[in-house]
């Protein structure tokens, strides 16, 4: 038996040995094959082509079918930010663009030196007052981020540092994202983001001592903070944690993911407790893409919850009575009252007197108005949806056909502050709550109100004003309760040593677009500029109801002064410069109007002999990056240079990534609607490279590896298409480059050091390709 066992065991061992040998041999061949393929792939990756040694970008065989049409997507693989191949591609692209940028020579260094020298001026945010304290943001010299100061509101008081985020990261990439004070000014909740991401964490600071409390809340994005009456806690919104792939083994990985943001919830946090103990105030699992904002009414009687689903100026508005809220259990909140339960109009809370509410709204008013709505007496929870929907509104500040009402605040108990935009310039009025007694508030010149801080219980307010040549002044305005008369005095004034604003001139022109629409455009140049065409930078945005108003930009003025350049800013359709009709004229099937307006601006500059096709550069960021990409695809012969920053470039897939679904209100959705697919396909930058005859202008794309607003894959895919399609043509002599910044996001909170570096490279790139040279 033992021999049989030995014999049989020997045979089994022999068979097993052969099997193992076979596996080893096959495994060796497989490993060799994989190694060969990797070596071949690396060799392919290492190849370059064209006059600028563009890295080779491989094409895959991805084809999608949309509404019966096959759409190739050869660069789909560039959508994976964690792929080693994508990371190598980024390194090679940066190496390629760096080689070109390093070759820009003295003009780059001179601009960067001058920019660094003059950027040392002190910069201020608009102050706000709570309790006995005045709070404001200030950035001294070359500090990477603004510092939060507190100052007693009394004569001779000196400002003290309350929060300095510069101390949180040596590289300057920690940035203040949001903040909110208790009504008495004793506590401050603040949110800090890292590396440019939209993600931030909330902490709480004791104002008197400057010490942080134990509270720390993570996974916040697109949220403010609303303190509950009494200051025992606050309301905020957060998402589930980002995907593990974004954070595992990666420093500051959050913000590199491309997954769609979903399932935001509104929470209540009680001070001194952990985040795990926070209670959900509102959620709607059936609508995972809804976004929540919260605000406590002036009288502390209501929690107002605004709900959005897109970037359109429309929202739902719910309220919770706070009379029985104990600051501990959200179950003690009153039942929710769905005052506005549709996405048809915008309703922003201004103030209330008992159950009478004032709203800033565009209902039947595309240029906006102030209206009141009064809730009936009795049990609000007993009101049916039909009864709430039937509640009438009363206009107290009717729509102004000649100007857009941009914002409203309340001060001195019974006065409305009305901020208007008329032909892209700020106007300011004050009126009683019932709309009577309207009068103008004098402004210091032509420009924009860039900040306003007012509270109903305070008899004063602050506002900040700046222009293209004016770096800004903050004014403190006292309001007489009896008649609303205002007394204004400067509180903080910004000056730039070494720069004389009187050297420059600004004028506004109105030009005709393709369909005859009159479009405003500001033109800034040096007073001693010679006659005739010269190097010009044309900037535009054209989307999401955002108005591009006069604002100070040091780098633009240095371009004008030292390169002999001109700056033109076109207020094209899609923005909010003339209200919702102007906005809608540049969205969805009307989006081509935006590109036509910008192209018409270029043609105006050429025909007016301000610039020429060999001297005109265009620039835009985000939606403006899309603008630049679409325009160089459609009319490349008009431009000498183009800079597209953090642009939306793949219009067939943008809605699949992070917060992109919210942009469907402006762009449409290629998956859901055949007509929208055709519109998007017709202008999508990634899908229309090389369609126009002739060479493209010198093009620089920029993006950041932590941009979780417009994820960098958009710029990656467009750069690949530009280089592979257009860059391979013999007539394409100008460069087509991409610069990918690390620990950098969509732009907000970018440290000063990165700002100076990026803008210096951009201006030098433009100068090189428009024939401009530095002049001391």
Dump pLDDT digits (tens) for 72-99. 999 999 999 999 999 999 999 999 999 9
Of 157, 153, 159, 155, whose CA–CA distance to 140 is shortest? 159
579: left (phi over 0), alpha (psi -120 to 50) or beta: left
Residue 513 sits in the same domain as residue 428: no
How far is the CA of 334 from the CAs of 295, 323, 345, 383, 712, in angstroms?
A: 15, 7, 25, 14, 44
CA–CA dist 721, 717 (Å, integer): 6
Residue 722 sits in the same domain as residue 646: yes
Q: According to the model, what pLDDT value does residue 569 have?
A: 99
Under a CB-based contact definition with an 8 Å cutoff, are residues 579 and 404 in contact? yes
Residue 436 sits in the same domain as residue 549: no
Residue 619 sits in the same domain as residue 716: yes
CA–CA dist 134, 207 (Å, integer): 11
Beta bridge partners of 136: 149
Helices (H), 61-142: 84-102, 106-118
CB atoms within 10 A of CB 733: 12
Domain harbouring 520, CATH code:
3.40.50.1820
Pairing type for strands 212-220 and 337-340 reads unpaired
Q: What is the pLDDT of residues 2-58, one digit of tens each?
A: 333 333 333 333 322 223 233 333 344 444 444 555 555 665 666 888 889 999 999
- 375 part of a folded domain: no
Residue 763 sits in the same domain as residue 710: yes
CA–CA dist 670, 644 (Å, integer): 23
- 480 part of a folded domain: yes
Q: What is the pLDDT of residues 298-345, one digit of tens each?
A: 999 999 999 999 999 999 999 999 999 999 999 999 999 999 999 999
Task: Decide if pLDDT at 608 tops 70.
Answer: yes
CA–CA dist 11, 15 (Å, integer): 6
- 42 part of a folded domain: no
Direct distance between the N- and C-terminal alpha carbons of the chain, in angstroms, rounded to an integer: 103
What is the average per-residue pLDDT within 428-440?
97
Residue where one domain finishes, among candidates 477, 495, 513: 495
- 253 part of a folded domain: no
Under a CB-based contact definition with an 8 Å cutoff, are residues 202 and 191 in contact? yes
Lowest-confidence segment of 40-54, 147-161, 242-256 by average pLDDT:
242-256
Residue 489 sits in the same domain as residue 515: no
CA–CA dist 218, 510 (Å, integer): 48
Q: Looking up tokens 């990918």, which residue turns up?
A: 740
Task: Decide if pLDDT at 1 tops 80.
Answer: no
- 316 part of a folded domain: no
Residue 735: partners with Cβ closer than 8 Å, 6 or more residues away: 51, 52, 100, 698, 699, 700
Element (H, E) at 43: helix 2-46
Residue 681 sits in the same domain as residue 704: yes
Residue 595 sits in the same domain as residue 508: yes
Q: What is the pLDDT of residues 614-645, one digit of tens each?
A: 999 999 999 999 999 999 999 999 999 999 99
User: In this structure, what token pair is assigned to residue 125?
Assistant: 């945010």
How far is the CA of 338 from the CAs of 237, 317, 495, 549, in angstroms?
A: 19, 6, 48, 35
CA–CA dist 340, 346 (Å, integer): 10
Q: According to the model, what pLDDT value does residue 13 have?
A: 31
Q: According to the model, what pLDDT value does residue 48 have?
A: 85
CA–CA dist 281, 461 (Å, integer): 32
Q: How many residues does the chain have?
A: 776
- 580 part of a folded domain: yes
Under a CB-based contact definition with an 8 Å cutoff, are residues 462 and 475 in contact? yes
Residue 443 sits in the same domain as residue 516: no
Residue 489 sits in the same domain as residue 506: no
Of 383, 317, 389, 384, whose CA–CA distance to 350 is shortest? 317
CA–CA dist 562, 533 (Å, integer): 16
How far is the CA of 197 from the CAs of 122, 193, 221, in angstroms?
A: 26, 6, 9
For residues 354-376, one letter each, b for 16 or more C-beta atoms within 10 angstroms of the residue's C-beta and e for the rest, the string is eeebbbbbbbebbbbbbbbbebe
Pairing type for strands 54-55 and 48-49 reads antiparallel
Of 656, 667, 632, whose CA–CA distance to 713 is shortest? 656
Q: According to the model, what pLDDT value does residue 429 have?
A: 98
Of 147, 124, 225, 122, whose CA–CA distance to 476 is shortest? 124
Q: According to the model, what pLDDT value does residue 526 have?
A: 98
What is the average per-residue pLDDT within 336-361?
98
CA–CA dist 318, 690 (Å, integer): 50
- 322 part of a folded domain: no
Instruction: Please count the structural domains in the chain.
Output: 2
Mean pLDDT of the chain: 93
Q: According to the model, what pLDDT value does residue 50 have?
A: 82
Of 558, 495, 555, 549, whose CA–CA distance to 526 is shortest? 558
Residue 657 sits in the same domain as residue 762: yes
Task: Decide if pLDDT at 729 tops 70.
Answer: yes
Residue where one domain finishes, among candidates 480, 495, 510: 495
Residue 523 sits in the same domain as residue 461: no
Query: Which residues does the annotation mark as catalytic?
Result: 622, 707, 746
How far is the CA of 752 from the CAs of 417, 558, 646, in angstroms?
A: 34, 17, 18
Under a CB-based contact definition with an 8 Å cutoff, are residues 49 and 728 in contact? yes
Residue where one domain finishes, among candidates 495, 527, 553: 495
Higher pLDDT, 549 or 22: 549
* Domain hosting residue 701, numbered range: 89-116+498-770
Lowest-confidence segment of 142-146, 155-159, 250-254, 596-600 by average pLDDT:
250-254
Q: Looking up tokens 């210091």, which residue turns up?
A: 444
Q: According to the model, what pLDDT value does residue 41 have?
A: 60
Q: What is the pLDDT of residues 552-605, one digit of tens each?
A: 999 999 999 999 999 999 999 999 999 999 999 999 999 999 999 999 999 999
Q: According to the model, what pLDDT value does residue 9 have?
A: 35
Task: Decide if pLDDT at 235 tops 90.
Answer: yes
In the chain, DSSP finds a helix count (H) and a strand count (E) of 13, 41
- 510 part of a folded domain: yes
605: left (phi over 0), alpha (psi -120 to 50) or beta: alpha
Beta bridge partners of 369: 361
């Amino acid at each position: 038996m033992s021999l049989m066992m030995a014999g049989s065991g020997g045979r089994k061992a022999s068979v097993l040995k052969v099997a193992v040998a076979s596996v080893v041999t096959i495994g060796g061949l497989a490993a060799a094959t994989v190694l060969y393929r990797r070596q071949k792939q690396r060799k392919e990756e290492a190849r370059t082509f064209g006059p600028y040694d563009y890295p080779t970008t491989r094409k895959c065989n991805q084809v999608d079918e949309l509404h019966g049409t096959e759409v190739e997507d050869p660069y789909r693989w560039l959508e994976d930010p964690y792929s080693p191949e994508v990371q190598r591609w980024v390194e090679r692209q940066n190496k390629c663009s760096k080689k070109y940028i390093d070759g820009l020579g003295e003009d780059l260094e001179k601009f960067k030196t001058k920019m660094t020298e003059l950027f040392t001026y002190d910069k201020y945010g608009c102050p706000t007052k709570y309790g006995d304290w005045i709070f404001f943001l200030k950035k001294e010299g070359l500090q990477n981020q603004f510092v939060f100061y507190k100052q007693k509101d009394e004569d001779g008081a000196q400002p003290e540092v309350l929060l300095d985020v510069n101390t949180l990261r040596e590289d300057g990439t920690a940035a203040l994202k949001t903040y909110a004070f208790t009504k008495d000014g004793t506590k401050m909740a603040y949110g800090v983001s890292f590396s440019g991401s939209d993600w931030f964490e909330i902490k709480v600071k004791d104002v008197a001592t400057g010490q942080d409390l134990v509270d720390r809340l993570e996974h916040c994005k697109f949220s403010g903070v609303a303190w509950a009456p009494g200051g025992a806690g606050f309301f905020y919104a957060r998402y589930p944690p980002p995907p593990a792939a974004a954070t595992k083994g990666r420093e500051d990985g959050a913000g590199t993911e491309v997954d769609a943001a979903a399932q935001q919830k509104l929470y209540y946090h009680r001070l001194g407790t952990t985040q795990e103990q926070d209670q959900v105030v509102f959620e709607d699992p059936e609508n995972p893409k809804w976004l929540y904002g919260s605000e406590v009414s002036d009288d502390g009687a209501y929690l107002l919850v605004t709900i959005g689903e897109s970037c359109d100026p429309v929202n739902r508005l719910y309220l919770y009575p706070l009379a029985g809220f104990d600051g501990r259990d959200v179950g003690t909140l009153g039942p929710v009252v769905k005052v506005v339960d549709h996405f048809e109009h915008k309703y922003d809370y201004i103030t209330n007197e008992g159950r009478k509410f004032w709203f800033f709204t565009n209902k039947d008013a595309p240029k906006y108005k102030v209206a009141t709505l009064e809730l009936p007496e009795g049990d609000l929870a007993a009101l049916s949806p039909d009864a709430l929907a039937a509640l009438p509104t009363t206009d107290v500040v009717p729509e102004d056909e000649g100007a857009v009402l941009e914002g409203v605040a309340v001060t001195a108990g019974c006065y409305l502050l009305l901020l208007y935009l008329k032909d892209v310039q700020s106007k300011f009025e004050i009126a009683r709550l019932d709309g009577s007694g309207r009068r103008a508030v004098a402004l210091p010149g032509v420009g924009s109100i860039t900040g306003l801080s007012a509270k109903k219980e305070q008899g004063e307010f602050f506002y900040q004003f700046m222009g293209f040549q004016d770096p800004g002044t903050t004014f403190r305005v006292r309001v007489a309760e009896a008649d609303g008369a205002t007394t204004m005095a400067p509180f903080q004034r910004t000056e730039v040593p070494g720069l004389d604003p009187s050297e420059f001139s600004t004028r506004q022109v109105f030009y005709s677009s393709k369909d005859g629409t009159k479009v405003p455009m500001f033109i800034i140049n040096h007073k001693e500029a010679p006659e005739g065409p010269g190097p010009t930078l044309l900037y535009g945005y054209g989307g999401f109801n955002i108005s591009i108003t006069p604002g100070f930009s040091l780098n633009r003025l240095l371009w004008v002064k030292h390169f002999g350049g001109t700056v033109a800013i076109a207020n094209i359709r899609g923005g909010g410069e003339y209200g919702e009709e102007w906005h809608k004229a540049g969205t969805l099937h009307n989006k081509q109007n935006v590109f036509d307006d910008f192209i018409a601006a270029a043609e105006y500059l050429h025909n007016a002999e301000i610039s020429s096709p060999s001297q005109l550069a265009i620039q835009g960021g985000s939606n403006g990056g899309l603008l630049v990409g679409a325009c160089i695809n459609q009319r490349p012969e008009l431009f000498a240079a183009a800079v597209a920053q953090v642009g939306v470039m793949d219009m067939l897939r943008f809605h699949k990534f992070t917060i992109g679904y919210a942009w469907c209100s402006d762009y449409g959705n290629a998956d859901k609607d055949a007509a929208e697919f055709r519109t998007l396909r017709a202008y999508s930058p990634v899908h229309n490279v090389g369609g126009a005859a002739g060479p493209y202008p010198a093009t620089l794309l920029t993006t950041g590896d932590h941009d979780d607003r417009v994820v960098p894959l958009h710029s990656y895919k467009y750069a690949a298409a530009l280089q592979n399609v257009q860059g391979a043509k013999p007539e394409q002599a100008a460069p087509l480059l991409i610069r990918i910044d690390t620990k950098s996001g969509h732009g907000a909170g970018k440290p000063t050091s990165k700002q100076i570096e990026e803008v210096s490279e951009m201006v030098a790139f433009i100068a090189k390709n428009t024939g401009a040279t530095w002049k001391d």
